[in-house]
Amino acid sequence: MAEFDKLVEALKAAGEVTRLRLLALLADGELSVKDITDILAQSQPRVSRHLKLLAEAGLVVRNAEGAWAYYRIADSGSRGELVASILQQLPKEDAVLVADHHALEKVKLAHQSKANKYFAQVAQSWDKLRKLHVPESAVEAAILKYVGPKRINNLLDMGTGTGRMLELLSDVYVHGTGIDFSREMIGVARAKLAAAGISHAQIRLGDISEDEAKDGSGALDASDALANLVILHQVLHYFDDPGRVLSNASARLADGGRILVVDFAPHDLEFLRERDAHRRLGLSEQQMQMWGQFCGLKIDHFEQITNQHSNETTDKSLVVCLWVLTKSKGT
């Protein structure tokens, strides 16, 4: 009877208008409480109470990051199946749900606009700016170690920025592609690659958080050759839903291919949200494990690199993590 009672409670939790709207929104990816309050135009206490009920029923999962909290729908086990079943029953043409989706798109565009503005301002000094936060030489040495000297056919650098990874690994790949949504960053990357004489890499404009490029550029076009190695270097913390970006990376990966993720470990430096447009305060081992399993990826290697080069006391707690994930055949 205990499991029966839990099922009844889960159905009760879902059986309310606002909570059904929340499930529909979270089906599109992880969202912060602040974003949800903006979308629903409801108070933070009211939204938090609804989310708490859904979390207690196992229908959504909460992840706290500093002063913020992110939520996602349960995507595994019996509760994941229940949520999927509920979502299938929701009428996609319902006026309220359609309005919520439009509001969600506005929130996403606002985030992207803020990020675009930030990257446009720092594009020319991006590589120098990154060195203020991480021991770049140590990180790049670790990247070279895990990538190895073996020649690979196709490398995909998602969120390429100034193209540093394409430059660093130019001796490893036959064909390289870098994708970024910032035109300023792309301009810098193309200039740097040209100056370095790297002709076997190309740069494209595209949004790596989308399944396919909306502007027709084909940045994540299914017709492109699958990559043997995908790089996500200091990229995922700029997205509300890193799992979605990782899923897109997995979709572009050949069987047996690898994804190399470099990002910050969890920290509490809230000022990075405003100063440097960070959306997530680092990524944990547990989060990467969860996202990887959902995408059919296995973590083969994990390493932490402590920041020993910052002169700012507030930045000394930053730790860089490196993950190598592999894709099994048929996933």
- What's the pLDDT tens digit per position in 99-133? 989 998 888 788 767 666 766 676 665 565 555 46
The pLDDT value recorded for residue 329 is: 67
Residues of the chain with pLDDT > 90, as a percent, come to 32
CATH of range 2-90; options 3.30.9.10, 1.10.10.10, 2.60.120.1130, 3.90.740.10: 1.10.10.10
The predicted-structure confidence for 193-226, as pLDDT tens digits, reads as follows 877 888 788 888 888 987 654 444 444 555 578 9
Q: Tokens 């990180």 appear where?
A: 139
Question: Which tens digit of pLDDT belongs to each residue from 279-302?
Answer: 888 899 999 999 999 889 999 999
pLDDT of residue 215: 45
Q: What is the mean pLDDT of residues 167-185?
A: 90
Closest CA to 244 of 48, 139, 108: 108
State both tokens at 67: 């002063």
What CA–CA distance (Å, rounded) separates 23 from 220? 28
Length of the chain in residues, anyone? 331
Angle between helices 44-56 and 17-26 (to 10 degrees): 80
Closest CA to 88 of 14, 7, 6: 14
For residue 250, pLDDT over 90 is answered with yes
- With 70 as the cut, is the pLDDT of residue 180 above it? yes
Q: Read off the pTM.
A: 0.66
Fold of 122-327: Rossmann fold (3.40.50)
Nearest one of 239, 272, 324, 243 to 61, comparing CA atoms: 243
CA 92 – CA 71 distance, rounded (Å):
22
Res. 310: pLDDT tops 60: no
Among 7-16, 152-161, 207-216, 278-287, where is mean pLDDT lowest?
Answer: 207-216
13 against 130, higher pLDDT: 13
CA 132 to chain centre: 22
The CA distance from 146 to 155, in Å, is 14
* The amino acid at 109: L
Q: In the chain, what are the domain boundaries?
A: 2-90, 122-327
Q: Which amino acid is at 122?
A: V
Between residues 220 and 37, the one the model is more confident about: 37
